[in-house]
Amino acid sequence: MCGIIGYIGKEKAVPIMMDGLAKLSYRGYDSSGIAILDDKQLKILKKKGKVGRLKKEVNKSKLESCIGIAHTRWATHGEPSDNNAHPHMDCNRKIAIVHNGIIENYMHLKKHLQDKGHKFVSQTDTEVLAHLIEDHYRGDIEQAVREAGGRLIGAFAVVVICKEDKERLIVARKDCPLIIGLGRQGNFIASDIPVLLSHTKKFIILENSEMASVWANEVKVCDFDGEVIKKEPQEINWEWGEVEKEGYEHFMLKEIHEQPRTIRDTLRDRLQKDGRVILKDIKLSDKYIEKLKRIYIVACGTAYHAAMIGEHIFEDLLRIPVEVDMASEFRYRDPILDEHTLVIAISQSGETADTLASVKEARAKGAVVIAITNVVNSSIVRESNYTLYTRAGAEIAVASTKAFTAQLIVLFLIALRFSQHAGRIAGGVMTEIAKYLNDLPAQVQTVLDEVDDIKEICQCLAEKIKDDEFNWFKYNSCFFIGRGLDAPIAKEGALKLKEISYIHADAYPAGELKHGNIALITKNTPVVALVTQDKVR
Ligand code: GLU
């Protein structure tokens, strides 16, 4: 997820955009950039790191204009760097764009454009779009964006500025949000409403596959065939402070609700309808997979629970022994590893010290390491042989939620990819699994739609008995139980409860409960039983 802001009007665009970038920071960023049009040319400044670094450059350079676009990037293609930061330009530096999303067919388009002589300066998928627009440009920038947009596969929200058309900005969207704010002195564009609330309460919300020309005092919305769409502006009566979390009470809740999208993004362009998995970033030969003797999955905390589920998935699909290890233990023992051992290391941030140390240990002993992480170019990426990214967007809440489910998806994809190479899985089974995975976002949504029922059930746990610092709740301990795939999920549930409510919680494989632990269960111990596995019901 990234942030987009644009302005065209009578006011100074730079302070509006810099303020917008700061407000958009909660969406996560690894770099940021700004493009403005002055009388003579398109001027661009981009900086890796915090928005403050860009601000310093902007202040030094005294940029001034009434039209501009800006972006906070959360990298998906190409490391976070000054060069890969947005805006991106065409060869002739006539067109600049900012983009949120993933262009799935960028490699194909890039090759095609390179063959036609276009020169690329970044590793991003986004730059392809800048050149593609240039390729279609015959003096009408809106038409060029329309034609280029029609050739994209994937998700995008894009804002385009063109030196030869100083009067308007062009915007387009598919599967990524983009809104237009209507002001008295000019018009605004942003990836979400909150960031514009200090400027206007009047918005045009772009729907999927819509694009628009935005002038200082006029907006024309149309579809990708050029058909004009009449849209009524909406009045929004929120305040900035209230909605920076998009209306959710806190970031954790917001991130829980993002899961249908993050699961879909993590599957995007990796899983075919027939179950075949394409993981371009893993270049392991069939021979390597055939000779594989053992897999270790190492991780900490929530990622460790994802690893435990990974064990079930790999052993079921691949029939290779899997060992799951806490990274903090793995690094201090002497694990048996060689070139026939694969280590999968999971870390949301890619910076977890114990997991990094485990990766180094495994590499030193000759094992191949695949990292699963959410942060592009984090340390784990550099230390591992291969990386698969979860595309969960920035996870701001400390208690991990959407990154966990995205990690499960990636584990599933690796297991499927390996088993199809090893010929250990029938075509019919593959198609069936693909169907389940593709249905998952909708199923998660169904559960999220029932959140009020869950809330009601939780109310009894949250009941306070007295305002005593150490004895807050009616129940001060809670058990989670489950078998099979539900056992690690029970552990994750217990961890979440401890981490965010300070209520003691513990989890057990349900069958294990009778061997002693049951002694702790009284009538005042709520037990959450996960029963999703028919064979152990
Ligand atoms: N895919 C683009 C990139 O990696 C955009 C990422 C974003 O949404 O910030 O540059």
pLDDT in tens, 82-134: 999 999 999 999 999 999 999 999 999 999 999 999 999 999 999 999 999 99
Mutating to test ligand 1, I would choose from 5, 29, 69, 76 the residue with most ligand atoms within 8 A of its C-beta, which is 76
Q: What is the pLDDT of residue 338?
A: 92
Mutating to test ligand 1, I would choose from 81, 100, 158 the residue with most ligand atoms within 8 A of its C-beta, which is 100
Cβ atoms of 477 and 527 closer than 8 Å: no
Q: What is the pLDDT of residue 258?
A: 92
Instruction: Express each pLDDT in 66-91 by its tens digit.
Output: 999 999 998 989 999 999 999 999 99
| Residue 465 in tokens | 């008995």
Atom of ligand 1 nearest to the CA of 85: 10
| Residue 439 in tokens | 């249905």
Task: Determine the distance separating the centroid of ligand 1 and the alpha carbon of 336, expressed in angstroms.
Answer: 39
Atom of ligand 1 nearest to the CA of 101: 8
Task: Determine the distance separating the centroid of ligand 1 and the alpha carbon of 103, expressed in angstroms.
Answer: 9
**Spatial distance between the Cα atoms of 34 and 343, rounded to a whole number of angstroms:** 41
Mutating to test ligand 1, I would choose from 32, 51, 99 the residue with most ligand atoms within 8 A of its C-beta, which is 99
**Spatial distance between the Cα atoms of 282 and 293, rounded to a whole number of angstroms:** 18
Length in residues, the chain: 537
Ligand 1 binding pocket includes 127 (Cβ within 6 Å): no
Task: Determine the distance separating the centroid of ligand 1 and the alpha carbon of 74, expressed in angstroms.
Answer: 6
Instruction: Express each pLDDT in 269-325 by its tens digit.
Output: 999 888 889 998 899 988 899 899 999 999 999 999 999 999 999 999 988 999 999
Ligand 1 binding pocket includes 75 (Cβ within 6 Å): yes
- What is the Cα gyration radius of the chain? 25
Cβ atoms of 473 and 464 closer than 8 Å: yes
Task: Determine the distance separating the centroid of ligand 1 and the alpha carbon of 75, expressed in angstroms.
Answer: 5
pTM of the predicted model as reported, rounded to 2 decimal places? 0.72
Indicate the SS3 state at residue 168.
strand
Strand 368-373 with 341-347, pairing: parallel
First-last CA distance in the chain: 39
Ligand 1 binding pocket includes 88 (Cβ within 6 Å): no
Q: Which of 495, 253, 454, 508 is nearest to 462 (CA)?
A: 454
Percent of the chain whose pLDDT exceeds 70:
96
Atom of ligand 1 nearest to the CA of 73: 9
Q: Which residues of the chain have pLDDT under 50?
A: none
Residue bearing tokens 């920076």: 244
Nearest Cα residue to atom 8 of ligand 1? 100
Ligand 1 binding pocket includes 27 (Cβ within 6 Å): no
Cβ atoms of 306 and 355 closer than 8 Å: no
* Strand order from edge to edge, sheet including 234-235: 42-48, 31-37, 67-73, 3-9, 186-190, 179-182, 202-205, 234-235
Q: What is the pLDDT of residue 458?
A: 82
Atom of ligand 1 nearest to the CA of 102: 1
Task: Determine the distance separating the centroid of ligand 1 and the alpha carbon of 1, expressed in angstroms.
Answer: 8
Ligand 1 binding pocket includes 31 (Cβ within 6 Å): no
